Structure 1
Amino acid sequence: MSELVTGEAVALELRPARLPSRALAVLLDLIVAFTVYIGVSIGLAAATASLDDAAQVALAIAAFLLVLVGAPIAVETLSHGRSLGKLACGLRVVRDDGGPIRFRHALVRGALGVVEILVTFGVVACIASLVSARGRRLGDVFAGTLVVRERVPLGQTRFVPPPPPWLAGRFTELDLSAVPDALWLAVRQYLTRMQQLDPQVSWAMAVQLAGDLATRTGTPAPADIPPAAYLAAVVQERQARETRRAFADHAAPSAGIPNAYAPPAPAAPPAPAPAPANTPIGPTPVAPMSTAPVPQPPATGFVPPA
């Protein structure tokens, strides 16, 4: 389900980039890449003038692969889908569900880009983008990615609302490995627009998406949680897992190096002073328990319609 249409004919999907903006971004990237490649080739030619022809050809091929293939893959991986050309045009490469890409996505796009863009001078990429409904080239199709527009009017930007605070950590044991990217995309886009839908339509869509999500996870949705709140809590849990996975290596302190952000060790409690001689020995009086009512969780907007 790459696209979900509501009862009010609202299509929930990402904003794909058009072919002209993508072509301009690719052209800027190629200008920068070929400029660097020419400089590296001149430097290699001057440094390897004493070598034989076979060694010079091998170094030329290595420079070509490193500058025109490896460098774009590294840039897209480290910048999470934003090369220099895409940054200038306000574009970004994302997964089908709207999440950031990883090395495997950039590797597939870069490998197929050699054939689509460099070998055929962009003809194959242009034809594939024109045929695709969302303007994807072959590299995007095989990598499961999409080039979207980042710069949109401020009034059109939407954010996924957080779940109620009392649901924090409720779904830490949920298995999310079988949930496809298309379903994540539908859930996220529904959460960003649920306040604009008719209450009955919004409730029906939340029930449908919650049922699909519960089927994929193998765990029924809790009956005491509104479906929209359940969707928001599961999406937040997935984002938390991706954040921990992405920053696991950076968050762990190195062995033998003290962590500057660790809280200070608690000081040892002082030794109790000796009691005076005339102090009576007996049980310590206990303060009466407070009869104040226990605060309840705050009300949230994830409630069923009237």
Structure 2
Amino acid sequence: MGSRRVITGEAVALDLPAASLITRGGSLLIDVMAYWLLFGAMVLLGGYVVMFSMDPAMQAALSLSMMVLCLVIVPITVETLTRGRSLGKLIFGLRTVRDDGGAVRLRHSVIRGLAGFGEIYLTLGLAPLLTAMFTERSKRLGDVMAGTYAVRMRHPPVRPMMLPVPPAMAAWAQIADIGRIPQDQATRAARLLRTLQTGGKKVNMAALSAASDRIADQMLSHISPAPPTTSSIDFLSAVMAERRNREYQRLSRAAQRTGRLHQRLHTLPYA
């Protein structure tokens, strides 16, 4: 499934990639095995020692109580305390969140836990499988009822594009207004430069040069002043490297402001 864009209360767009059906299934299988092992351990360690002296009705009641504890109450408690995690989700790098991207609360976990006991165990996993196949973000029935879904928390590492500003373009890049470049053009330029950086001898330089010429022509209308005469690849390298440098400086300033604020809030009289 694709990612869902969520707008937070601070008007910040977040891309939350939904977990796939396979990873959700693997996570659920691990959780089910863990909770059944817990139930078996409780029975072996002490449940039947007490139950042998009971009448059959009390034995059945105690067995049902332990089953509800292990298969309903424990999963609800774990998910609530870990804000949407479980053993299976931890292994697969998943987390359950609300549809708006926020952390799940007790009521979400209760709905998911109660619905999960019926849909997972009473249908032998068939209900969540069918529901996940026909919902947008691989939701099971408990997710539909609670307004939640699972997101991927781990992402494969991406090598940063470290192309420097060409020396001949350095002075121009310092004063250029490049803040109005559309994101789609910047994305295409980044992909082209990454191909140039990582492609090695397999790169078709003629096709790459033609593509860079087209992207550079589109960018020129959004940049001022005009750049000095150079190749389109050097021009794109200068623009994207300078964008990276300015973004790094902006994030550094924001981190410094956050650090100063954190220091003020943790000193008297606020501490």
TM-score tier, shorter chain, comes to 0.5 to 0.7
AA aligned opposite 1:24:
G
d(CA) in 2 for partners of 1:195, 1:56: 72
d(CA) in 1 for partners of 2:158, 2:182: 14
Deviates more, 1:40-49 or 1:147-156: 147-156
d(CA) in 2 for partners of 1:13, 1:74: 28
Deviation at 1:262, TM superposition (A): 8.4
Say what the alpha-carbon RMSD is for the aligned residues: 2.9
d(CA) in 2 for partners of 1:30, 1:19: 16
Partner of 2:132: 129
Matching of residues 8-157 of structure 1 within 5 Å:
13-42=15-44, 43-155=46-158
Aligned length: 160
AA aligned opposite 2:21:
L
Between Structure 1 and Structure 2, which shows a larger proportion of helix residues? 2
SS in 1 for 2:16: coil
Deviation at 1:101, TM superposition (A): 0.4
SS in 1 for 2:95: strand
Deviation at 1:155, TM superposition (A): 4.9
Matching of residues 122-201 of structure 1 within 5 Å:
122-155=125-158, 197=183
d(CA) in 2 for partners of 1:196, 1:38: 59
Deviation at 1:30, TM superposition (A): 1.1
Deviation at 1:82, TM superposition (A): 0.6
Deviation at 1:47, TM superposition (A): 1.9
TM-score, with normalisation over the residues of structure 2?
0.54
Q: Give per-residue Cα distances to partners, 1:41-67, cap 9 Å, x unaligned.
A: 232111221111111111111101001
d(CA) in 2 for partners of 1:83, 1:196: 41
Q: Give per-residue Cα distances to partners, 1:14-72, cap 9 Å, x unaligned.
A: 21111111111111111111111011123211122111111111111110100111100
d(CA) in 2 for partners of 1:155, 1:144: 32
d(CA) in 1 for partners of 2:181, 2:70: 48
Deviation at 1:153, TM superposition (A): 3.3
Partner of 1:296: none
Gaps of 5+ in 2: 7-12, 160-179, 186-265
Gaps of 5+ in 1: 6-10, 157-193, 200-260, 265-306
Overall identity of the aligned pairs, in %: 42
Deviation at 1:12, TM superposition (A): 7.0
d(CA) in 1 for partners of 2:42, 2:151: 32
d(CA) in 2 for partners of 1:31, 1:110: 16
